[in-house]
């Protein structure tokens, strides 16, 4: 009972101290909100100059294969055809293509059916219908389908057809899919957690060293673990202020929709904060003063931001960098949040991410205990 009471009083005292510090409030709450507004405005728009497509070519006739080859030759962007509209993304099968479409990794799925290129009984010329699947919520997908439709019509005319033998059928997917903003917002939530865990604690501990608070705690009945836990509760209090503001901005300014469970998100965020808190403990515990802590935390923060997929999806990075990002502590945090809020993953389904977070926490806490300085 004394433990709970002491922890509560200490947490409230630390929370009040943080709330009085305007610089802290700016970096912990103001800066994430500014980032969300700026990057949200940029990423809430969809590009219509070039599109990622998955090709499903099921043609069975020689004429169909030749026709599909011609169409892809002039529409796909390659080294020899830099003016092409589409960039082909290789997929294993139809299911994999639809998963990428739902996640926004591709804009359209172009299907050449088995009977494409069969000889028409009307004019004895090859005919067929290309099918294009795109997300109903995707402006890029709709425009890409329109561009391909016009190109096929133009090719059909160039081949001297009296009637439209080659046609395009567009189909809207009933899946909502992900926008660029959905990726960004998950990243901004992960960034905010990192701000509390890494930036918050790493800058607070040197201040406690300077005032002698850490040495007094070390000599008092309050254990170091209880003190750090109280700090974490204080930052959770700040998160309870910052997150509703960010969710309100995302919902009312950028038309964001919560797909998953709020409870799953809260539990996952708290687990992530425990791991990110270890980063702050390691940096702040080792640093001698606030200047050293600020420099170290910035040095740690920027690689985490750019390599974990916060600002843009990891699938857009070169393949060798994608493999490297698997070993970044913030990556499972960002991935787990995105899967929960956009694809309705349960905590059981994000166990791989939770496992990585736990592993990173153990490793970093072990390092933090080793390098920690009380004064």
Concatenating the DSSP letter of every residue in 168-200 gives: EEEEEESS----HHHHHHHHHHHHHHHIIIIII
CB 269 within 8 A of CB 337: yes
> Cβ contacts of residue 18 below 8 Å, gap of 6+?
24, 25, 28, 200, 204, 234, 235, 238
Domain with CATH 3.40.1710 in the chain: 51-173
CB 202 within 8 A of CB 283: yes
Gap between the Cα atoms of 330 and 46, Å rounded: 26
Q: Where are the beta strands (DSSP E) in 136-254?
A: 166-173
CB 239 within 8 A of CB 196: yes
pLDDT at 138: 59
Phi-psi region of 250 (alpha: psi -120 to 50; beta: other; left: phi over 0): alpha
Torsion of CA 183, 185, 187, 192, to 10 degrees: 180
pLDDT at 48: 43
Q: Which two tokens stand for residue 153?
A: 């019509």
Q: Which two tokens stand for residue 149?
A: 């439709």
pLDDT at 196: 84
Q: Which residue has the tokens 């857009």?
A: 316
Q: Where are the beta strands (DSSP E) in the chain?
A: 51-57, 86-88, 108-112, 118-119, 126-135, 166-173
Gap between the Cα atoms of 350 and 335, Å rounded: 9
The structure's pTM equals 0.68
Gap between the Cα atoms of 24 and 242, Å rounded: 12
CB 149 within 8 A of CB 168: yes
Per residue of the chain (375 residues), what is the pLDDT tens digit? 576 777 787 778 878 887 887 877 887 888 888 888 888 887 665 544 457 788 888 887 777 777 777 777 766 655 555 555 677 788 888 888 888 887 777 778 888 888 776 766 666 666 677 787 877 655 566 666 676 777 777 666 665 554 445 566 655 555 555 567 777 888 889 989 988 888 777 777 777 777 777 777 767 777 777 777 888 888 888 888 889 999 999 998 888 888 889 999 999 999 999 898 888 888 877 877 777 777 787 788 888 888 887 877 776 677 778 788 888 889 999 989 988 998 788 999 999 999 999 999 999 888 888 877 666
What is the CA 318 to chain-centroid distance, rounded?
16
Gap between the Cα atoms of 9 and 31, Å rounded: 28
Domain 51-173: CATH class, spelled out: alpha beta
pLDDT at 295: 79
- Beta bridge partner(s), residue 172: 134
Q: Which two tokens stand for residue 86?
A: 């589409």
φ/ψ (deg, to 5) at 47: -75, 140
Gap between the Cα atoms of 73 and 68, Å rounded: 8
Specify the DSSP element, H or E, that contains 296: helix 290-307
């Amino acid at each position: 009972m004394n433990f709970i009471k002491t922890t509560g009083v200490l947490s409230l005292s630390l929370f009040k101290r943080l709330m009085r510090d305007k610089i802290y409030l700016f970096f912990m709450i103001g800066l994430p909100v500014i980032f969300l507004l700026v990057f949200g405005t940029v990423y809430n728009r969809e590009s219509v100059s070039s599109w990622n497509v998955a090709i499903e070519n099921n043609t069975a006739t020689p004429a169909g294969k030749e026709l599909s080859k011609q169409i892809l030759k002039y529409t796909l962007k390659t080294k020899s055809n830099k003016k092409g509209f589409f960039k082909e993304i290789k997929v294993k099968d139809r299911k994999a293509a639809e998963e990428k479409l739902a996640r926004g990794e591709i804009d359209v799925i172009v299907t050449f059916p088995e009977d494409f290129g069969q000889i028409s009984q009307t004019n004895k010329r090859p005919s067929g219908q290309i099918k294009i699947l795109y997300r109903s919520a995707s402006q890029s997908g709709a425009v890409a389908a329109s561009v391909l439709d016009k190109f096929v019509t133009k090719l059909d005319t160039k081949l001297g057809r009296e009637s439209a033998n080659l046609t395009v059928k567009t189909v809207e997917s009933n899946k909502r899919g992900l926008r660029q903003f959905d990726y960004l917002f998950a990243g901004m939530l992960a960034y905010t957690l990192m701000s509390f865990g890494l930036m918050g604690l790493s800058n607070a501990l040197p201040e406690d060293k300077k005032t002698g608070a850490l040495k007094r705690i070390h000599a008092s009945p309050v254990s170091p673990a209880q003190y750090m836990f109280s700090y974490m509760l204080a930052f959770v209090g700040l998160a309870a202020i910052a997150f509703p503001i960010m969710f309100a901005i995302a919902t009312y300014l950028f038309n964001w929709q919560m797909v998953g469970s709020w409870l799953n998100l809260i539990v996952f965020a708290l687990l992530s904060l425990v791991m990110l808190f270890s980063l702050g403990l390691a940096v702040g515990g080792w640093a001698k003063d606030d200047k050293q802590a600020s420099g170290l935390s910035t040095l740690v923060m920027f690689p985490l931001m750019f390599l974990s997929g916060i600002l843009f999806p990891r699938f857009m990075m070169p393949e060798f960098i994608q493999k490297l990002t698997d070993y970044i502590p913030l990556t499972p945090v960002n991935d787990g949040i995105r899967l929960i809020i956009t694809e309705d993953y349960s905590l059981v389904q994000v166990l791989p991410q939770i496992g990585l977070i736990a592993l990173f926490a153990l490793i970093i806490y072990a390092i933090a205990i080793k390098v920690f300085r009380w004064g």
